[in-house]
Amino acid sequence: MSEEFKSGFISIIGRPNVGKSTFMNKVLGQKIAIMSDKPQTTRNKVQGVYTKDNAQMIFIDTPGIHKPKHELGEHMMKVARNTLRETEVILFLVNVAEEIGRGDEFIIDMLKNTTTPIILVLNKIDLVHPDQLIKQIDVYKDKLNFSDIVPISALQGNNIERLLEVIESHLPPGPMYYPADRVTDHPEHFIVSELIREKALHLTSQEIPHAIGVEVEKMKAENEGDKVHVQATIFVERESQKGMVIGKGGKMLKEIGKLARVDIEHLLGSKVYLELWVKVQKDWRNKKNFIRGLGYKD
């Protein structure tokens, strides 16, 4: 009897200091270099990919949602909402040792019309008496219809396994979006591909954005302290689009590379040599696996 493989995207939300990074570290272990909190634009940020024998969970940050409302532009709100709608599960982390605050209420407000399953994660149970935990459950239960409520201690690792089971129960059958051995160790590949895609989208004309996908094939420095050599391919669907992305005499591709390199250097904190290729791959948009693998969220 073979069990079907399950996979999906999971949004992690919660106000600052509730323990989101601690939780991710606990789940992913030391193996993965999680992206630190770099200044971010509107893209989704992969926090980490957790792969086990029968499932893959891709945890993503939801840009903007941690900020108070007045700091959010229309566009950011839209991006946050779309992200929440498009992920399979939402993890809403709160600090059980503190009273519910304005930041929590803001997030709850934002989640009100979401149909995506929302798991309330009551973190830092190591800091409270069981009575306090029960009281907190009552407070939050009245605020929103959570599909599950799971108390954990991210710091001590309590009940993390249970939370992973609950997440898995919400995942649909799906492919392994990220090869367990490669990207699990390099969530940066995804971010870097997003940076390149972002530049390509901004610089090229309106008619091709949806046809662009980027895959990072290589990202390494020969020696400690050397420039990081990033090699990536921009996929388009038609020859004509290839022409647009490359531009006259390669001018467009050069510009895309120049802008992307600056961001990648900022992200990695080191000098980068960026090598970009453009390839036509027909119908890549129809291959969901491929699309998701490239980080494109439709």
DSSP letter for each residue of 240-273: HHHHHHH-GGGHHHHHHHHHHHHHHHHHHTS-EE
Choose from K ion, Mg ion, ligand GDP, none: what does 17 bind? Cβ within 5-8 Å by kind.
Answer: ligand GDP
Choose from K ion, ligand GDP, Mg ion, none: what does 257 bind? Cβ within 5-8 Å by kind.
Answer: none
Alpha-carbon distances, residue 130 vs 137, 144, 232, 297 (angstroms): 11, 22, 51, 41
CA torsion sign for 40, 80, 28, 218 is: negative
Choose from Mg ion, ligand GDP, K ion, none: what does 22 bind? Cβ within 5-8 Å by kind.
Answer: ligand GDP
Minimum distance, C-beta of residue 212 to Mg ion, in the bound complex (Å): 30
Q: What is the 3-state secondary structure (H, E, C) of 42-58?
A: CCCEEEEEEEECCEEEE
Nearest Cα residue to 57 out of 146, 145, 163, 149: 163
Choose from K ion, Mg ion, ligand GDP, none: what does 127 bind? Cβ within 5-8 Å by kind.
Answer: ligand GDP
Determine the interface stretch with ligand GDP among 99-107, 121-129, 233-241, 273-281 (rule: CB under 6 A): 121-129
85 in contact with K ion (CB under 5 A): no
Nearest Cα residue to 5 out of 51, 48, 47, 49: 51
Q: Is 15 or 197 the residue whose CB approaches ligand GDP more closely? A: 15
Nearest Cα residue to 67 out of 36, 110, 99: 110
Q: Is 182 exposed, middle or buried (0-12, 13-18, 19+ CB in 10 A)?
A: exposed
Given a contact cutoff of 8 angstroms between Cβ atoms, the answer to whether 44 and 80 are in contact is: no
**x/- letters, 141..180, toward ligand GDP (CB under 6 A):** ------------xxx-------------------------
Return the residue of 8, 14, 117, 295 that touches ligand GDP, per CB under 6 A: 14
Residue ranges of the alpha helices (H) in 142-250?
Answer: 160-169, 188-203, 239-246
Return the residue of 21, 114, 184, 231 that touches Mg ion, per CB under 5 A: 21
Minimum distance, C-beta of residue 123 to ligand GDP, in the bound complex (Å): 5
Minimum distance, C-beta of residue 42 to ligand GDP, in the bound complex (Å): 20
Minimum distance, C-beta of residue 131 to K ion, in the bound complex (Å): 43
Please provide the size of the chain in residues.
Answer: 298
Q: Which residues form the interface with ligand GDP (CB under 6 A)?
A: 14, 16-22, 123-124, 126-127, 153-155
Known binding positions for GTP: 14-21, 61-65, 123-126
Interface contacts to Mg ion, rule CB under 5 A? 20-21
